Amino acid sequence: MGGLSSEREISLKSGAAISAALARLGYHQIPIDVDHDIALTLRREHIDVAFIALHGRYGEDGAIQGLLEIMHIPYTGSKLTASAVAMDKIATDGLLKARKLPVPKTLVLRQTETRHLETMPLPLQLPFVVKPVSEGSSVGVSIVKTASEIKAALAHAFRFGDKVLLQSYISGKEIHVGILDEKPLGAIEIKSKGAFYDYDAKYVPGMSEHLFPAPLPPEVYQHLLDLALQAHQALGCSGYSRVDLLIDSDMKPYILEINTLPGMTETSLMPEMARKCGIDFDTLVEQILNTADIEHGD
């Protein structure tokens, strides 16, 4: 837990909740705050399995997964390749399009291409969304409504890498589907108090309203569950994930992203969906633990 990304504080909260659950379940658990000496720490502790509660760069992008595989330590969540692909929004977009799954219109902009920003034609019709390629928790995301907002939105997103994603803004319902052990838990609708489901809406209690199951026509609801599972499988995810979607006023869905290590804090959606399906937090943690590929560890 913890780690070196912009989502460190949320990861510490997820890790603390998971650690407490493992202790209640009777497991000998060792909370490890990941730093640059993580390989030495892992060797010193002789752990049997790693329960990954990291979010963002170096934890959700295949980096820690690759290290654990080199050290023959089994771990929870998706494997290296799926983790790397899901964290890279460009790669995710390409794979989903290849499977003919619905995604917003998307363009990639490199920092070197913004030198003549003032004279460039608008890349997308306003409004559109600007987001970093490899960040989670809505870090660095902006909704651009006027041409005068483009420069600041790009500068904000480029703080997290030299490429950013521009996506058509879709006005509609924000839907999230939890996948556990290759089955959808259900779909939850989020009504944010802000402009969208941003960092505060995700982690500050009271900043969003959660409706589960999402109040949608049955056939639309089932279609969203099917799409989410297809997206999970298209990227090769395993164990569990959370798929984020939007559905417009015509009930047309769009897949935004797949989170291979969704938050496990007290306000996180995955535990909430599980709880409303009759799976308490400790049981959820143990189910995730049991998805680790123990057979391929030492």
| pLDDT tens per residue across span 219-247 | 999 999 999 999 999 999 999 999 999 99
Q: What is the pLDDT of residue 174?
A: 95
pLDDT at position 120: 67
- Is-catalytic flag, 58? no
- Output the CA angle 241-101-226, nearest 5 degrees: 55
Shared domain for 154 and 22, answered yes or no, is: no
Which CATH number goes with the domain that contains 202?
A: 3.30.470.20
State residue 117's pLDDT score: 62
Which of the two residues, 101 and 133, has the higher pLDDT score? Answer: 101
Half-sphere exposure at residue 278, Cβ-oriented, CA atoms within 13 angstroms: 0
239 and 194, same structural domain? yes
Pair 19, 132 in one domain: no
Q: Print burial letters for 21-30: b (CB count within 10 Å at least 16), e (below 16).
A: bbeeeebebe
Given the residues 242, 254, 268, 272, the one annotated as active site = 242
Confidence check: pLDDT of 195 > 60? no
Note the residue count of the chain: 298
**Mean pLDDT, rounded, for 42-70:** 95
Catalytic annotation present for 14: no
pLDDT of 148 reads 85
Host domain of residue 126: 106-168
Distance CA 83, CA 39 (A): 19
Q: Is the pLDDT of residue 295 over 70?
A: no
Active site residue 263: yes
Task: Give me the pLDDT at residue 83, please.
Answer: 97
Q: Please list the alpha-helical segments (H only) found in 170-215.
A: 199-203
Q: Among residues 60, 61, 257, 272, which one is catalytic? A: 257
Of 220 and 117, which is predicted with more confidence? 220
Quick check: is 259 catalytic?
yes
Whether pLDDT at 154 is above 70? yes
The one catalytic residue among 254, 263, 268, 272? 263
Catalytic residue among 75, 197, 199, 203: 203
Q: How many domains, in total, are found in the chain?
A: 3
Q: Which of the two residues, 267 and 78, has the higher pLDDT score?
A: 78
Q: Residue 119 — pLDDT band, cuts 50, 70, 90? A: low
Structure confidence at residue 204 (pLDDT): 59
Q: What is the mean pLDDT of residues 28-51?
A: 96
Distance between CA atoms of residues 293 and 51, nearest Å: 11
Residues 119 and 220 in one domain: no
The CATH number of residue 66's host domain is 3.40.50.20
In this predicted structure, the answer to whether residue 261 has a pLDDT above a threshold of 90 is: yes
pLDDT at residue 135 greater than cutoff 80: no
Selected catalytic residue, list 6, 14, 78, 259: 259
If asked whether residues 91 and 132 sit together in one domain, one would say no
pLDDT at 206 over 70: no
What is the structure's pLDDT at 186? 97
Which residue did the predictor score with more confidence, 52 or 159? 52
Output the domain CATH number for residue 129. Answer: 3.30.1490.20
Question: Which of 244, 254, 268, 272 does the annotation list as catalytic?
Answer: 244
What is the token pair recorded at 186? 């259900």
Residue where a domain stops, chosen among 168, 195, 216: 168
Residue 177, pLDDT > 70, answer yes
Give, for 84, the enclosing helix (H) or strand (E).
Answer: helix 80-87
Active site residue 242: yes
- Does residue 292 fall inside a structural domain? no
Confidence of residue 192 (pLDDT cuts 50, 70, 90): confident
The active-site residue out of 5, 7, 186, 268 is 7
Same domain for 92 and 238, yes or no, is yes
